[in-house]
A and B are shown apart, each in its own frame.
Chain A
């Protein structure tokens, strides 16, 4: 049903000839400028580490870092040390605060915005390259710290509802339905072109199609790479290695100009995305504050606490950095799965009460009912409701539901009759829950009778979370399918057999 909702909305957006707002509210958190760091990469085709990086707060000139040839691991590492310092300072790493007096004593919420998924994946490659490196080189501790931060950001990005790592096209498609194929919606330039000032569908479509010609992924357009960079890189590599820096200053500058132009384009698109979302008159969903609070706690546990442990150098409190390769065994996979289910439910729980469109989506999935109160009995301890939508709701006796818009006003389902569309529920409050507004009434108030309500399934997040910890504590899951795959996969990082290309 959810997929069909997106399909019909896409058709409506096509009919209107422009992106249509998705939801009553913007369901993505956009931090303040000093909380947000925009991060864009460019990499050479076939390579897994950056050729150049643009990093900066919105509305500030980004800092651009490039190397003449990213196949030179030393030059890339030198560059990443500088990039690392900027990123680590942004996230408040105590060792990299520019002003020690203003160093964070506890983790405060920070965001990074990237122009697409491939940029997120490059963060993971950076983690692989540096988080566990045994390389002996100056400032290797910066590279390790950067690698661990990059991995934590990559891990956090997988958690539903998180607001720390924002992939710009995802943010736009969360807020709008675009009149183009989902495959094309991964391209940030394409999406923003649809939101341009063109007057008609045809002109917007033309602009969006043209925008796709400029790559915003980490890789460059192959034709661009060949015509603008190939000969420059050849010229850079022409002298012997030890003479390249001295003899190649001009060509290095030329390469920097070309790569920087690409980086600035990506950075500008991310900043435009932030502006679009900030300007949106719908305003942010109030539930986002809760997701930010939860995200701050989760990321502090994932990254900040490990930084603190590492700095304490206490052998009894060693840092526990998350693995690079994903889940190492079935138990961890099961734990991670349950955690994600819980996060997903938490995200929905936090947002659905602040956005009627999300409530409608939940109703269409059958995870709630639209019903009228027909009886208030036993002093408000029992209500009878008749629902009109959906025709076959997915609610069960004993389950909990909340009144849409008032997450703390919950009812327990006591009886369900699909034949006469009746449900009997027990409200969990007696005195008024809200101090103001139409819902500020005790459960026994007779004026509830005749009132139409939307009741949304209130899935117990803590139940899923606690079952995930139960799984983690077990040596065997008890489920055949999980125990079957008990053998662990390699977790060590094998150091390169040789030094790479050079």
Chain B
């Protein structure tokens, strides 16, 4: 088998993960603190409960992902370029390939700062010299507006460059190892990948603006996905992913996150998502809000669920029950269903809505 690259500590500075974590449940205070201060929720969960699982992802899946990505960019991106060319993404038969991966990921560049410098330089050259058509692997951006201090860094899996009407046009691509099953590809997986790409589009727009290149380089609002063919490691490229609304979502999301984080300190965890005790304490002290979404992404979900059950939080039966209860606790709802007399309008309204509308109609 191909050698598997080592894990990617540098990726842990990747702001994207933290932003997406926050977006999944913006209403949870602990989630906000964790994302802003870069304290991994898994580490917090283990501090809270030492028996919490160490890793939420399959080691085989992680290895496969790394192997798949490494295979795509090996030999000057031969497999990636071939798959993209097969979808008529380039005009020229021999598209170029640039590798901005850092050394720890098997690439030629020293570190993240080097990758950011190369990416910015590349964009500046592209604006003048329009001969490049091809792919840049791991283009790295630093978002000028830093919500998540000390930096907001994004690494784009693949950046395609084409010439449209004589102007360089860049479009973002995301590499995923899950299978492309046409119209039956997992909707949630696709939504997640599209959200990521929307974030990249938003970040690229900010960077082009900052570099004063927005008039020279066209930023495409259509991205592409590189998935796998079911049952093989061959890439399957899906083009024409509409990212307009995802980019807008990212823009608004950053604004909201910035507003939510404005009162916080500028402490931040290290590259491993670990941090000082005070950071853990801040996450642990922040209020939590259990919801259905927690189960899909947060390592503290079992603990929060147990707390929600103990507190009689309606969300343990689903977000819809929480809304239906309209502020009533599950415990009180239980009492009312057991025959307790309602004390106020909210409780009377609850009993009215619980009643079968067909009962008592004559």
One of B55, B233, B309, B320 near A222 (C-beta < 8 A): B55
One of A73, A325, A388, A390 near B232 (C-beta < 8 A): A73
- Contact between A388 and B361 (Cβ–Cβ < 8 Å)? yes
A302 close to chain B: CB less than 8 A: no
Query: A501 and B181 in contact (CB under 8 A), knowing A10-B317, A125-B230, A388-B361?
Result: no
- Contact between A222 and B53 (Cβ–Cβ < 8 Å)? yes
Query: Inside 8 A of A3's CB, which chain B residues have their CB?
Result: 320
- Contact between B59 and A7 (Cβ–Cβ < 8 Å)? no
Query: Inside 8 A of A389's CB, which chain B residues have their CB?
Result: 357-358, 361
1/0 per residue, CB under 8 A from B, across A2-41: the answer is 0110111011101100000000000000000000000000
- Contact between A46 and B230 (Cβ–Cβ < 8 Å)? no
A47 close to chain B: CB less than 8 A: yes
A219 to B178, CA, bound (A): 13
1/0 per residue, CB under 8 A from A, across B69-112: the answer is 00000000001001100100000000000000000000000000
B186 close to chain A: CB less than 8 A: yes
Query: Inside 8 A of B6's CB, which chain A residues have their CB?
Result: none
A460 close to chain B: CB less than 8 A: no
Minimal beta-carbon separation of A369 from chain B (angstroms) = 11
Query: A10 and B354 in contact (CB under 8 A), knowing A501-B2, A501-B233?
Result: no
A233 to B181, CA, bound (A): 28
Give the nearest-CB partner of A502 in chain B.
Answer: B1
- Contact between B361 and A47 (Cβ–Cβ < 8 Å)? no
- Contact between B184 and A325 (Cβ–Cβ < 8 Å)? yes
Contact residues of A between 69 and 120, Cβ < 8 Å to B: 71, 73, 76
Q: How large is the interface on A (under 10, 10 to 19, 20 to 34, 35 or more residues)?
A: 35 or more
One of B181, B292, B357 near A183 (C-beta < 8 A): B292
A45 close to chain B: CB less than 8 A: yes
Give the nearest-CB partner of B295 in chain A.
Answer: A183
A92 to B229, CA, bound (A): 30
> Which among B186, B228, B309, B358 has the greatest number of chain A C-beta atoms within 10 A?
B358
Minimal beta-carbon separation of B316 from chain A (angstroms) = 7
1/0 per residue, CB under 8 A from B, across A302-343: the answer is 000000000000000000000111110000000000000000
- Contact between B54 and A223 (Cβ–Cβ < 8 Å)? yes
Minimal beta-carbon separation of B170 from chain A (angstroms) = 24
Query: Inside 8 A of A493's CB, which chain B residues have their CB?
Result: 229
- Contact between A125 and B234 (Cβ–Cβ < 8 Å)? no
One of B2, B67, B230, B317 near A129 (C-beta < 8 A): B230
- Contact between B333 and A11 (Cβ–Cβ < 8 Å)? yes
A149 close to chain B: CB less than 8 A: no
- Contact between A48 and B317 (Cβ–Cβ < 8 Å)? no
- Contact between A220 and B58 (Cβ–Cβ < 8 Å)? yes
Stretch at the interface among A174-182, A279-287, A405-413, A465-473: A174-182
- Contact between B58 and A44 (Cβ–Cβ < 8 Å)? yes
- Contact between B358 and A360 (Cβ–Cβ < 8 Å)? yes
- Contact between B318 and A183 (Cβ–Cβ < 8 Å)? yes
B123 close to chain A: CB less than 8 A: no
- Contact between B55 and A223 (Cβ–Cβ < 8 Å)? yes
One of B86, B179, B302, B354 near A48 (C-beta < 8 A): B179
- Contact between A11 and B181 (Cβ–Cβ < 8 Å)? no
A363 close to chain B: CB less than 8 A: yes
One of B67, B83, B333 near A501 (C-beta < 8 A): B67
B278 close to chain A: CB less than 8 A: no
Query: Inside 8 A of B295's CB, which chain A residues have their CB?
Result: 183-184
- Contact between A222 and B59 (Cβ–Cβ < 8 Å)? yes
- Contact between A226 and B236 (Cβ–Cβ < 8 Å)? no
A205 close to chain B: CB less than 8 A: yes
B64 close to chain A: CB less than 8 A: yes
- Contact between B316 and A181 (Cβ–Cβ < 8 Å)? yes
B65 close to chain A: CB less than 8 A: yes
A124 to B230, CA, bound (A): 9
Give the nearest-CB partner of A44 in chain B.
Answer: B60
- Contact between B59 and A230 (Cβ–Cβ < 8 Å)? yes
Contact residues of A between 462 and 502, Cβ < 8 Å to B: 489, 493-498, 500-502
- Contact between B320 and A47 (Cβ–Cβ < 8 Å)? no
A422 close to chain B: CB less than 8 A: no
Contact residues of B between 287 and 325, Cβ < 8 Å to A: 292, 295-296, 302, 305, 309, 315-321, 324
- Contact between A46 and B58 (Cβ–Cβ < 8 Å)? yes
Give the nearest-CB partner of B58 in chain A.
Answer: A45
Minimal beta-carbon separation of A70 from chain B (angstroms) = 9
B166 close to chain A: CB less than 8 A: no
A190 to B321, CA, bound (A): 19
Minimal beta-carbon separation of B40 from chain A (angstroms) = 16
Give the nearest-CB partner of B87 in chain A.
Answer: A490
Give the nearest-CB partner of B302 in chain A.
Answer: A209
B117 close to chain A: CB less than 8 A: no
A212 to B55, CA, bound (A): 17
A46 to B302, CA, bound (A): 24
Minimal beta-carbon separation of B351 from chain A (angstroms) = 11
Contact residues of A between 326 and 376, Cβ < 8 Å to B: 326-327, 360, 363-364, 370
One of A11, A219, A233, A497 near B317 (C-beta < 8 A): A11
- Contact between A205 and B321 (Cβ–Cβ < 8 Å)? no
Query: A49 and B231 in contact (CB under 8 A), knowing A325-B183, A389-B357?
Result: yes
A65 close to chain B: CB less than 8 A: no
B50 close to chain A: CB less than 8 A: no
1/0 per residue, CB under 8 A from B, across A171-210: the answer is 0000000011111100000000000000000000100010
A130 to B229, CA, bound (A): 12
Query: Inside 8 A of B2's CB, which chain A residues have their CB?
Result: 501
> Which among A48, A209, A363, A493 has the greatest number of chain B C-beta atoms within 10 A?
A48
- Contact between B361 and A15 (Cβ–Cβ < 8 Å)? no
Query: Inside 8 A of A124's CB, which chain B residues have their CB?
Result: 181, 184, 230
B57 close to chain A: CB less than 8 A: yes
Query: A15 and B353 in contact (CB under 8 A), knowing A44-B60, A389-B361?
Result: no
A428 close to chain B: CB less than 8 A: no
- Contact between B309 and A205 (Cβ–Cβ < 8 Å)? yes
A121 close to chain B: CB less than 8 A: yes
- Contact between B358 and A325 (Cβ–Cβ < 8 Å)? no
Minimal beta-carbon separation of A314 from chain B (angstroms) = 30
- Contact between A326 and B58 (Cβ–Cβ < 8 Å)? no
- Contact between A46 and B177 (Cβ–Cβ < 8 Å)? yes
- Contact between B234 and A494 (Cβ–Cβ < 8 Å)? yes
A495 to B230, CA, bound (A): 11
- Contact between B317 and A14 (Cβ–Cβ < 8 Å)? yes
- Contact between A498 and B330 (Cβ–Cβ < 8 Å)? no
- Contact between A4 and B318 (Cβ–Cβ < 8 Å)? no
- Contact between B320 and A500 (Cβ–Cβ < 8 Å)? no
Query: A7 and B361 in contact (CB under 8 A), knowing A125-B179, A326-B184, A501-B67?
Result: no
- Contact between B236 and A494 (Cβ–Cβ < 8 Å)? yes
Give the nearest-CB partner of A205 in chain B.
Answer: B309
A364 to B362, CA, bound (A): 15
One of A14, A184, A222 near B330 (C-beta < 8 A): A14
- Contact between A179 and B184 (Cβ–Cβ < 8 Å)? no
A326 to B187, CA, bound (A): 13
Query: Inside 8 A of B57's CB, which chain A residues have their CB?
Result: 45, 222
- Contact between A498 and B324 (Cβ–Cβ < 8 Å)? no
B63 close to chain A: CB less than 8 A: yes
A187 to B60, CA, bound (A): 23
Query: Inside 8 A of A125's CB, which chain B residues have their CB?
Result: 179, 181, 230-231
* Inter-chain pairs besides A7-B324, A180-B316, A389-B361, 10 sampled, C-beta below 8 Å: A8-B353, A44-B60, A46-B58, A128-B230, A180-B317, A183-B292, A184-B295, A225-B58, A324-B181, A498-B234
Query: Can you sample 7 A-B contacts with CB below 8 Å?
Result: A44-B60, A220-B58, A222-B59, A223-B53, A364-B358, A494-B86, A501-B233
* Chain A residues at the B interface, C-beta cutoff of 8 Å: 3-4, 6-8, 10-12, 14-15, 44-49, 71, 73, 76, 121, 124-126, 128-130, 154, 179-184, 205, 209, 219-220, 222-223, 225-226, 230, 233, 237, 323-327, 360, 363-364, 370, 388-390, 489, 493-498, 500-502
